[in-house]
Amino acid sequence: MSTQNPSAPLRVVVVGYGYWGPNLVRNVAERPELELAGLCERDPERAAAFSARMPGTPVIADFDDVLADASVDAVLIATPPRTHHALVAAALRAGKHVMVEKPLAKTAAEARDLIEIATANRLTLMPGHTFLYSPSVNKIRDLVLAGELGEVYFVTSSRMNLGKYQSDGVVCDLAPHDLSILMYLLDQPVVQVSASARSVFQDGVPEVAFLTLTFANGTAANVQISWLAPRKVREMVIVGSQKMVQYDDTAADETVRVYDRGMDIKTPKNFGEHQLSYRSGDIVIPRVEAAEPLSLELADFARAIVTGQRPRSHAELGYDIVACVEAAEESLRLGGTPVAVPALTAPALI
């Protein structure tokens, strides 16, 4: 760490001040563990917008100059996904801790490479999977891991809006959110994915996609993601053998509802007699604390750097998500054929 005083805030530079970078800047400025040492942005208009908001904070146009500055402890990268591998690898090689916005990289091979560089240099590498810090998501995870829902049979997830078009396609842009939530909630990796999509404006850049996922424990999930939709939808339904959960991230409050509903099969009295009984009990709305996930994420990044422990949003999870996105994109090319998702420990893809 470059700071002389171990209790001094970590000096971080935010890289990229487009759509998401300003959120990082605002939250860094509010976190006592961090000090905004500057912004790296090569677009002069965006750099000027930053300077108007944060007068006196340095703007550095060249990323190499950030890396050469020994007083900088870490970089927070909010540039497009295709730039992640090169920027993150260079930062790690220069001895900087890195938080990089989702997805960690474009391919599983790139993600694996970044993990190897971070490990070799004993640095924190954290992909920014913001939903892992959402109090609603954590409330549901607590229920799942405590066994309240029983066996989770399946999950459906919808993430739609009239959203920002990205040349990387909707799978690379939005699926990491659903995948991070699902892998975290279920504490399971995805082993197989099949995908279908529609590209309206540009071949190979889908605006809408439908993913079918199989988790290692057999849980099935269906995810629909789109930038073309009449309104913002962020809804998940988690169906377990004991209880079911509805999660609406757009709700002002009461984002999580737990339904004591289900269907049980009675032991047949006679041969051939199968009777189903329906359960329809209480609906409980748990209290969910109000906290900004991005602020909690930055606190976790600082804690990971200082303690050397891995952050909740860790690089291996980032790898699993990238591998699943890559497999989904492969399935699209194959017309929807299911594609296996390679684990980090598996041999590298050729």
Ligand X SMILES: NC(=O)c1ccc[n+]([C@@H]2O[C@H](COP(=O)([O-])OP(=O)(O)OC[C@H]3O[C@@H](n4cnc5c(N)ncnc54)[C@H](O)[C@@H]3O)[C@@H](O)[C@H]2O)c1
- 187 closest CA partner among 228, 227, 233, 140: 140
- Interaction mask 205-244, ligand X, x per CB under 6 A: ----------------------------------------
- Cβ-based nearer residue to ligand X, 131 or 259: 131
The residues pairing with 235 across neighbouring beta strands, listed in sequence order, are 158, 248
- Interaction mask 127-146, ligand X, x per CB under 6 A: -x-x----------------
Smallest gap from residue 225 Cβ to ligand X (A): 13
Query: Exposed, middle or buried, 315 (CB in 10 Å: 0-12/13-18/19+)?
Result: buried
- Cβ-based nearer residue to ligand X, 124 or 214: 124
Residue 132 CA from chain centroid, whole number: 7
- Cβ-based nearer residue to ligand X, 63 or 319: 63
Give SS3 for 121: coil
One residue of 79, 214, 255, 313 binding ligand X per CB under 6 A: 79
Cα–Cα separations (whole angstroms), residue 116 to 77, 93, 98, 129, 193:
19, 11, 14, 20, 26
* Residue with the shortest CB distance to ligand X: 18
Cα–Cα separations (whole angstroms), residue 134 to 171, 180, 316, 333:
21, 12, 20, 33
- Cβ-based nearer residue to ligand X, 33 or 173: 173
- Interaction mask 161-200, ligand X, x per CB under 6 A: ------------x---------------------------
- Cβ-based nearer residue to ligand X, 21 or 206: 21
- Interaction mask 19-58, ligand X, x per CB under 6 A: xxx------------------xxxx--x------------
Judged by CB under 6 A, does residue 159 bind ligand X? no
One residue of 38, 81, 206, 240 binding ligand X per CB under 6 A: 81
Restricting to residues 285-324, name those near ligand X by CB under 6 A. none
- Cβ-based nearer residue to ligand X, 41 or 73: 41
Distance in angstroms (rounded) separating the CA atoms of residues 109 and 103:
13
- Cβ-based nearer residue to ligand X, 121 or 166: 166
Total residues in contact with ligand X, by rule CB under 6 A: 24
Distance in angstroms (rounded) separating the CA atoms of residues 79 and 154:
34
Token pair of 28, please?
Answer: 């860094």
- Cβ-based nearer residue to ligand X, 83 or 242: 83
Judged by CB under 6 A, does residue 78 bind ligand X? yes
Cα–Cα separations (whole angstroms), residue 253 to 3, 96, 236, 290:
41, 39, 15, 9
Judged by CB under 6 A, does residue 18 bind ligand X? yes
| 254 CB neighbour count, 10 Å cutoff | 12
Q: For the residues of 304-338, what is the DSSP string, one character each? A: HHHH-PPPSS-HHHHHHHHHHHHHHHHHHHTTS--
Smallest gap from residue 92 Cβ to ligand X (A): 15
Kindly report whether the peptide bond that precedes residue 103 is cis, defined as omega within 30 degrees of 0: yes
Give SS3 for 207: coil
- Cβ-based nearer residue to ligand X, 61 or 284: 61
Residue 318 CA from chain centroid, whole number: 8
**Residue ranges that bind ligand X, judged by CB under 6 A:** 15-21, 40-43, 46, 63, 78-81, 83, 87, 101-102, 128, 130, 173
